[in-house]
Amino acid sequence: MVARVIPVNTFDLVIFGGTGDLARRKILPGLFRRFLSGQMPADSRVIGAARSDLNSAGYRDMVRAAIDEFGGDEKAETKKLDAFLAQLEYVPVDAKGDGGWKELAALSRTDVVRAFYFSVAPSLFGDLAERLHTHGIAGPKSRIVVEKPFGRDLDSAKELNATLAQHFDESQIYRIDHYLGKETVQNLMAVRFGNILFEPLWNNHYVDHIQITVAETVSVGGRGAYYDRSGAMRDMVQNHLMQLLCLIAMEPPSKFGADEVRDEKLKVIRALQQVEPHHIVRGQYDAGKDTQSYREDAENPRSFTESFIAMRCEIANWRWSGVPFYLRTGKMLKARSSEITVVFKELGHSIFEDDDTSHQNTLSIRLQPNEGMDLQVTIKEPGPGGMRLVDVPLDMTFAEALGDTDIEVTDAYERLIMDVIRGNQTLFMRGDEVEAAWGWTDPIIQGWEARNDVPKIYEPGSSGPEDAMMLLHRENRKWRNIKA
Ligand code: BG6
């Protein structure tokens, strides 16, 4: 199946932090792929803006090298790369001073879609927003894109929201959570709201519990300084896992519109119960044969920051009351694997007397890698010997089922940038949503800080600390295996 490409209007995209890591790894290679797909009209421009003293020719060389280093199959399109690079400009800009703003203003066009990507430290958001206005570069229809971390607690998130609100309306602000741009994360909504099959069962009458796992094999090496101030709770749970939880738990919105979807997500966050301390397990990876420990990577021998967290959450509303949601994420685990599993209840009564095992249907949605769905159903064990039952998977890998689509090649960032250009905020976090998420996260973090909680050490390449297993075992449940 060939992916459908929706045309976009002419745009100017200014990337503040245009020479930074995210721009080189994700944004620019992603834009080149969109260019190849015909989603970058010939008169559109990407303008890099950063402190480095480069000119446009120097910037194009840098972008060429970045695509060569971080790009995928698109690297082979060397002839078209020149045409893409010709649409790039660069202006050296001082976010905190006056340098470069006049030059940027001179490039500014008012008759095209204008978007400004703040791929910089949040401490610069206010300076950029203000200067875009004082120099008349941004107008009432311009859009700004802001990266995580959006604050490190409720107070700082409120402050950031207030700063941006001085210059931009909420409808102009696109807060990125790249998980929302992942194909399969959107598929969660398609599975739930595009099928009649699941929705009637999607509640506490039929669901025993839900597991959300985002396991990574990478360490925090190289990002230790940032990570040690964040930990898995701030880095992954408050944003990415929270978004997954919302999409799996929210009520059906009346339509797939930006505020309709975000209103429903917000209700889920507000209905989240505070988590009891004994329902939280924090971990830190140990040194391996050839790998450093978390504390060595973070260069902090006394660090209490968690590189792993597992927790049991509950949503206090009519649909979910009594259904545990188990969340788990960590670095240096045995496989890179993200999945959500809905475990249904056991049958109330079995008519098969020969069968003395228990059976539960499960629906797993694999987010990455090998995106797909797996529905465990119970059938008869083949052969004679009575009616004994066995659970088997109805497994579907999306790429196989759909043929040659662009599931693999469309990165979350390029999809989200195109949504910004189209003016579609559905897959971006609204200010109140981010604040509500911090409002839930803050007391949990404050709790373990007050208790001086020390993370449990776990083996690199494992499934996390033993205590995380116990979180489910003591309720007669079991985590799904983390497997690639
Ligand atoms: C980022 C986190 O937001 O998401 C990283 O800061 C994490 O620590 C990454 O590794 C995971 O993203 P993905 O797309 O690789 O699952």
Pocket test of ligand 1: the residue of 179, 227, 331, 366 to mutate, having most ligand atoms within 8 Å of its CB, is: 179
Mean pLDDT of 319-343: 97
Domains of the chain: 11-147 (3.40.50.720), 180-407+431-473 (3.30.360.10)
pLDDT in tens, 351-410: 998 888 889 999 999 988 888 899 999 999 888 878 889 999 998 887 778 776 555 557
- Better pLDDT: 438 or 121: 438
Q: Whole-model pTM? A: 0.94
Residue 218 Cα to ligand 1 middle (Å): 10
For 73-87, what is the mean pLDDT?
Answer: 88
Q: Which residue has the higher pLDDT, 339 or 8?
A: 339
Please state the separation of Cα 369 from the chain's center in Å. Answer: 14
In angstroms, the Cα distances linking 183 to 112, 213, 439, 478 are 28, 17, 28, 28
Closest residue to atom 6 of ligand 1, CA basis: 235
| Alpha carbon nearest to ligand 1 atom 4, residue | 236
pLDDT of residue 387: 87
Q: Which of 255, 239, 271 is nearest to 428 (CA)?
A: 239
Average pLDDT, whole number, for the chain?
93
Atom of ligand 1 nearest to the CA of 240: 3
- Residue 47: is its pLDDT beyond 70? yes
- 448 Cα to the center of ligand 1, angstroms: 24
Which atom of ligand 1 approaches the CA of 182 most closely? 14
> pLDDT tens for residues 302-330?
999 999 999 999 999 999 999 999 999 99
- Residue 238 CA to ligand 1 center (angstroms) comes to 13
- Helices 125-134/154-165 angle, 10° precision: 10
Sequence-distant (6+) residues with CB within 8 A of 413 are 26, 27, 30, 176, 178, 181
The more confidently predicted of residues 445 and 8 is: 445
Residues at CB less than 6 angstroms from ligand 1:
216, 235
Quick count: other Cβ atoms within 10 Å of Cβ 283? 27
Q: φ, ψ for residue 226 (rounded to 5)?
A: -65, -50
